[in-house]
Amino acid sequence: MNRLFFFVLLLVCCSWGLSSYAQNIDPASRAQPAIQAKRTMAKPVLDGQVNEELWFRGRPAKDFWQLFPSDSVRCPAQTEIYISYDDEFLYLAAICYTTGNDYVIPSLRRDFRAGGNDNITFVFDSYNDRTNAFVFGMNPYGVMREALIANGGRERDDFNENWDNKWSGASFRGDKFWSCELAIPFGALRFKENMREWNFNSYRFDTQTNTQSTWSWIPQNQLIMSLAFMNKIEWEEPLKKAGSSVAIIPYITGATSTDFEAQEPAMTSSNIGGDAKIALSPSLNLDLTVNPDFSQVEVDRQVINLDRFEIFFPERRQFFLENADLFSGFGDQRINPFFSRRIGIGRDTADNVVQIPILYGARLSGKLDNNWRVGLLNMHTQLDRDGGIPGANYTVAAVQRKLFSRSNIGLIFVDKENFANDLDIASDEMERYNRVIGLDYNLASSDNRWNGKFFYHQLFNPDTTHTFGDKFAHGGNLSYQDRFWRFEYEQNWVRDGYEPSVGFVPRNNFFSIRNGIRHFFYPTKGAINRYSLGLRSRQIWQPVDGKTDHQYSFSWDVDLKNTGGINADLNHNYVYLFDEFDPTRSDGTPLAAGTEYNYVDFSISYRSDQRKVISYRLEPGFGQYFNGTRYSLQGGLTWRYQPLGFIELNFNFNHIDLPAPYSTATLFLIGPRIDLTLSKSIFLTTFLQYNSQVDNLNINARLQWRFAPVSDFFLVYTDNYNTTDFGVKNRAIVAKMTYWLNL
């Protein structure tokens, strides 16, 4: 197998001369003049028609560069952006020219994703650190979106569309153009007083010319949301502190639920609580919550878990989202000292995962100046005496100092205090406290070619079975990417005593090394826009016992000019089991501890043109699996009923065949989703998930009526059945109303 990889590496290197020639373009040669924002005394009428005099007093942003399919020419579908402002609002207008009037609009739901439809996005780096930014967007039908970008927009996960705020806007559709106007309160943004300029960029998707374009030029091998490539807004006068910015968001709920498995009668409940958002300064915000309720948050997408370790699910609760990277951006995704989803979740005496009410919480976060960010979070959860779960207090403190152009160094402290006296439990029978202190250095070069992270985290808890030296984790990664090549290296060491109770660390007691190389090609003709060949490897060792895992992979990635794509992976795997494990996770006969396995598997995926009314993705896979074989097929099918919504069907099928006496299992997950947007204020989502692995059929229907800006009425219906006889497990109906009140 090693000979095969050396041969492929030689093939990649020799193929350099076969790739189409493309120069490394100097960003300075693509520089744009700054957009000028002029102060106005008149407020625009937000009808989407950019025809008022106030828009044309300053210098616009125009002459957009094409990013897709090529990054070396001006975009054929041009855009013009105008900015004005007064003491309270930032006003923004855009004119988006195109070749026709046939737009792709998946639905009227707020917070759409940009890919595969017509829209424009505005990115404000009001901190001027090219690390964090506020995002606002609009499409030709006036559908709005807002989001946050963290970590410089280096990875797709750095884009958080769950963030919400209060602003207004409208669109207008004309002949071979569409336009929009936005009014964004300065109180919704975070910035330092007396600033004369902000970093700014805008990007646009136009389906009729099949182009993606940006105002500030971005090389094609970077993400379109990258904050490494920004231009400037020049304010006519230094920005002053906005007026008092206090928002109160109360809620009231009522619910009825029945646990049919426990044969208990239906239970009714009601609740009241709320949040407050207080701007202590234009760049520092205080968030408060009392008795928060997250019943309206959409359920997680289920997965078929064939891994030996815990699966990661992202945070969706609104309170935890603003400046989330300041708290959760330490370590990496699988060695993270703070994972906010641990708050409000616990295990009862029967080892069942249960929700724990949060009594109150407070979060202070933002910028002290252009170099310093701070965050302080404190939350308290309720005692669950019946479940044997004590009340707990969670405290997280983080500080971050900018270094050089885009790098930073950060310090975090995480503390969970269990109140064992709540349950009359002796202190030696329960972990009274669990604390982590961590130091991280995040590297990001000005041109985004070099990126990396280096961290050390130390755990403190009462456990005396492990020494201080057994309670740490450290790691580091470094990557380099230019137009043709990407190189990356990563290593991590997690000791066996490192178990942060508020973190996400699904595995400990290991040392790992991961590295990879990828070469990019840019054909000038044909259906392929860009393709790449890559090699990567990961090896894991356990102290004393030696190597426990490795994976060597060869991959081929293709981006098509029609927005589709192809990916193929060939993997060689090695696993040594220190504990017994059933690869099917179906409670069959497990593979014995102390056994090892070498196996090879292959997968290929295809993603169709996202602009079509019907789009799909398919990913078949086959090969060896431990001491048997595995065949899989996963994918999705989407039908768009423009602009009222779409119907989506996701599926995951796995057939695992192991020799006797081990299990043979056929596992499948089917997840149809119906998303209807009856208007820009009434949304209906119905989500079904049939998962044979966990013997559960889940139905979740959510009706949302946005009766005022960022104020909603929700009606949520949830049903769970077992998949053998379709008997009802539990059922619940929740009604919730929230109202955003600016004081």
User: Does residue 152 form part of some domain?
Assistant: yes
How much is the mean pLDDT over the chain?
91
Q: Read off the DSSP letter of residue 365.
A: E
Is 73 a member of any domain? yes
CA 731 vs CA 213, 266, 293, 300, 403: distances in Å? 47, 9, 18, 17, 52
442-445: list long-range contacts, CB under 8 Å, 24+ apart: 442/151, 442/329, 442/407, 442/408, 442/409, 442/410, 443/407, 443/478, 444/131, 444/151, 444/152, 444/154, 444/228, 444/405, 444/406, 444/407, 445/228, 445/405, 445/406, 445/407
Q: What is the pLDDT of residues 569-587, one digit of tens each?
A: 999 999 999 899 999 888 8
Q: Give SS3 for 8.
A: helix
For residue 39, pLDDT beyond 80:
yes
Q: Which residue has the higher pLDDT, 206 or 426?
A: 206
More confident residue, 314 or 394: 394
Q: Which residues of 678-715 are buried (b: 16+ CB within 10 A; e: fewer)?
A: eebeebbbbbbbbbbbbeebbbbbbbbbeeeebebbbb
Give backbone dihedrals phi and psi of 294, rounded to 5 degrees, phi first.
-120, 30
Q: Model confidence at 663, in pLDDT bands (50, 70, 90)? A: confident
| pLDDT surpasses 50 at 692 | yes
8 Å CB contact between 286 and 362: yes
- DSSP letter at 266 equals P
Task: State which H helix or E strand residue 353 sits in.
Answer: strand 353-355
In a domain? residue 381: no
With a pLDDT cut of 90, the percent of the chain lying above it is: 74
Q: How far apart are CA 253 and CA 734, in angstroms?
A: 7
pTM (predicted TM-score): 0.90
3-state SS of the chain: helix, strand, coil percent to 5? Answer: 5, 50, 40
- Cα gap 299→654, rounded to integer Å: 23
| pLDDT 10s digits, 327-374 | 999 999 899 999 999 999 888 887 888 889 999 999 999 998 889 999
Query: In angstroms, rounded to a whole number, what is the distance separating the alpha carbons of residues 729 and 726?
Result: 9
Give residue 69's domain range: 32-235
> Cα–Cα distance between 145 and 341 in angstroms, integer?
24
User: Please, which residues bridge with residue 457 across strands?
Assistant: 438, 473
Q: Report if residue 299 sits inside a domain.
A: no
Among candidate residues 364, 159, 204, the one with its CA nearest the CA of residue 277: 364
pLDDT, tens digit, 9 for 90 and up, residues 504-548: 999 999 999 999 999 999 998 999 999 999 999 999 999 888 899
* Tens digit of each residue's pLDDT (9 = 90 or more) over 86-118: 999 999 999 999 999 999 999 999 998 888 899
Reading the block at residue 419, the tokens are 């109140």
Task: Give the residue-averaged pLDDT of 554-558.
Answer: 98
Note the pLDDT of residue 113. 87
Q: Is 17 helix (H, G, I), strand (E, B) or coil?
A: helix
pLDDT for position 101: 93
13, pLDDT greater than 80: no
Q: What is the CATH number of the domain that holds 50?
A: 2.60.40.1190
Q: How far apart are CA 301 and CA 637, in angstroms?
A: 16
pLDDT at 161: 86
pLDDT of 484 higher than 50: yes
* Count of domains observed in the chain: 1
What's the pLDDT at 25? 57
Cα angle for residues 640, 645, 650 (degrees, 5° grid): 65
The answer to the question of residue 716 being in a domain is no
Contact assessment for residue 168 and residue 183, using Cβ atoms and an 8 Å cutoff: yes
pLDDT recorded at residue 430: 67
State CA 191 to chain mean position distance: 24
Q: How confident is the model at residue 427 (pLDDT cuts 50, 70, 90)?
A: low
Spatial distance between the Cα atoms of 157 and 183, rounded to a whole number of angstroms: 27
Q: What does residue 130 show for φ and ψ, rounded to 5 degrees? A: 50, 30
Q: Considering only CA atoms, which of 113, 131, 129 is closest in space to residue 121?
A: 113
Distance CA 551, CA 549 (A): 7
Statement: residue 201 has pLDDT above 70: yes
Is the residue at 52 inside a domain? yes
CB atoms within 10 A of CB 29: 7
Whether 84 is in a domain gets the answer: yes
Does residue 353 sit within a domain? no
C-alpha 257/C-alpha 730 separation (Å) is: 7
Q: What is the pLDDT of residue 3?
A: 45
CA 226 to chain CA centroid, Å, is 15
228-241 pLDDT, tens digit per residue, is 999 999 999 999 87
Local confidence band at 243 (pLDDT 50, 70, 90 cut-offs):
low
Is residue 733 scored above 90 in pLDDT? yes
**For tokens 């089991």, what's the residue?**
577
Which residue from 632, 568, 571 is spatially nearest to 599, judged by alpha carbons?
571
